[in-house]
Amino acid sequence: MRGLRETLKIPIAVKLSHFFSAIANFAGKLDASGASALVLFNRFYQPDLDIEELEVVPSLALSHPNELLVRLHWVAIIHGHIKADMAITGGVHSAQDVLKSMMVGARVAMMTSALLQNGVDHLDTVYAGIIYWMQEHEYESIAQMCGSMSQRNVPTPPPTNEPTT
Ligand X SMILES: Cc1cc2nc3c(=O)[nH]c(=O)nc-3n(C[C@H](O)[C@H](O)[C@H](O)COP(=O)(O)O)c2cc1C
Torsion sign across C-alpha atoms 26, 15, 70, 78: positive
User: What is the nearest approach in angstroms of ligand X to the Cβ of residue 106?
Assistant: 13
Q: Which of 142, 19, 30 is nearest to 78 (CA)?
A: 30
Distance CA 107, CA 40 (A): 12
The CB density around residue 147, as the number of other CB atoms within 10 Å, is 20
Q: Is 111 in the site for ligand X (CB under 6 A)?
A: yes
94 binds ligand X (CB under 6 A): no
Among the listed residues 37, 84, 92, 98, the single contact to ligand X using CB under 6 A: 92
Q: What is the rounded distance in angstroms from the CA atom of residue 94 to the CA atom of residue 65? A: 8
Nearest approach, Cβ of 27 to ligand X (angstroms)?
17
Between CA 22 and CA 147 the distance in angstroms is 21
Binding residues among 127-156 for ligand X as defined by CB under 6 A: none
CB of 90 to ligand X, least distance (A): 4
Pattern of binders to ligand X over 27-56, x per CB under 6 A?
A: ----------------x-------------
CA distance linking residue 162 with residue 165, whole number of Å = 9
Query: How far is C-alpha 53 from the geometric centre of its chain's CA atoms?
Result: 37
Count Cβ atoms within 10 A of the Cβ of residue 40 and give its class: 0-12 exposed, 13-18 middle, 19 or more buried.
buried
Applying CB under 6 A, which part among 20-28, 83-91, 126-134, 145-153 lies near ligand X?
83-91
Interaction between residue 113 and ligand X (CB under 6 A): yes
Q: Does 101 bind ligand X (CB under 6 A)?
A: no
Q: Which is nearer to ligand X, 1 or 110 (CB)?
A: 110
Does residue number 18 form part of the binding site for ligand X (CB under 6 A)?
no
Q: Is 87 in the site for ligand X (CB under 6 A)?
A: no
Residues at the site binding ligand X, with contacts judged by CB under 6 A: 15, 43, 63, 89-92, 110-113
